[in-house]
Amino acid sequence: MPRKKKSIKPRDIGVDPIYESELLQRFINVVMWRGKKNAARKIVYEAVGVLEKKFGGKEKALDVFYKAFNQIVPLVEVSSRRVGGSVYQIPREVAQGRGRSLAIRWLIDAAASRSGKTMGSRLGSELLEAYEGRGGAFKKKLDVHKMAEANRAFSHYAW
């Protein structure tokens, strides 16, 4: 039996002021660095602005953001387990919250490694590529899925 109590409900982080989206607010919080929330907001809103410029309109840009984000969320991942002196990579399903946080992290890392003028424009182009089914974050998701598929034979060790 676990010693730590499960939290009863997740903490309410609210919604972002412009688009009134909880996912965008969570995204802003993860982009935020050293407590500079206004800088993080500028970065994320610039990225959504890139989507608005490409597709036109606030609602359409937010729909594109959601679709691009859902393209990146992984369904399975591998976890290491030691069995009889050997370490196996065991594929497991990803919980919804963990999948979202992995997708956010992958998206930010892929955007940071791109070449571009500002972080907002890099994040916007990464979102556009994720919407089209390519880009660094989408490739990371495919790599994780391929790893899980390759280690499917060890799924019976998951208990």
What was the pLDDT predicted at 78? 93
What was the pLDDT predicted at 6? 77
Of 44, 51, 23, nearest to 131 by C-alpha is 51
User: Cα separation of 130 and 72, whole Å?
Assistant: 7
Domains in the chain: ranges and CATH: 22-157 (1.10.455.10)
pTM to 2 decimal places? 0.88
Q: How far is CA 114 from CA 49, 61, 108, 130, 147, in A?
A: 18, 22, 10, 14, 24
What was the pLDDT predicted at 1? 61
Q: What is the mean pLDDT of each run of 10 residues along the chain (159 residues)?
A: 76 90 95 96 95 87 94 94 89 94 96 92 95 95 95 80
